């Protein structure tokens, strides 16, 4: 299943150094290249969002909590589906 993970600063400082930020940027690029993360965005005012798939709750837990910004963020996890798949399913359900 696919998830939209939204992170917003919670007021605590990001206790992460410049070199760690560069390392995390490389990890994000690798996750995008491998397809483990479908999309990743940073919010100019702080925080960010990414779209990922998870086969089970442990997989999702690791993807959300292993983020170095996790402890300094409010995190929202929203299950999502591709719009065309959803609309087809809705039409079938409604009998349209």
pLDDT at position 75 is: 94
In this prediction, residue 96 has a pLDDT band, given cuts at 50, 70 and 90, of: low
- Domains, the chain, in order of start with CATH, read 2-94 (3.30.70.1060)
Quick check: 11 pLDDT over 70? Answer: yes
Q: What is the pTM of this model?
A: 0.84
In this prediction, residue 20 has a pLDDT band, given cuts at 50, 70 and 90, of: confident
- Tokens 């690791």 label which residue? 62
- Using one digit for the tens of pLDDT, what is the confidence trace for 25-65? 998 999 899 998 999 999 999 899 999 999 999 999 998 98
42-68 b/e with 16+ CB inside 10 Å = b? eeeeebbbbebebeeeeebeebbeebe
């Amino acid at each position: 299943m696919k998830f939209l993970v939204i992170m917003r600063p919670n007021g605590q400082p990001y206790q992460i150094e410049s070199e760690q930020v560069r390392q995390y940027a490389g990890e994000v690029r690798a996750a995008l290249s491998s397809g483990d993360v479908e999309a990743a965005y940073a919010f100019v005012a702080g925080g960010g969002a990414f779209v990922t798939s998870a086969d089970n709750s442990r997989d999702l837990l690791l993807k959300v909590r292993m983020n170095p910004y996790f402890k300094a963020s409010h995190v929202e996890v929203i299950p999502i589906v591709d719009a065309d798949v959803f609309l087809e399913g809705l039409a079938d359900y409604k009998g349209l």
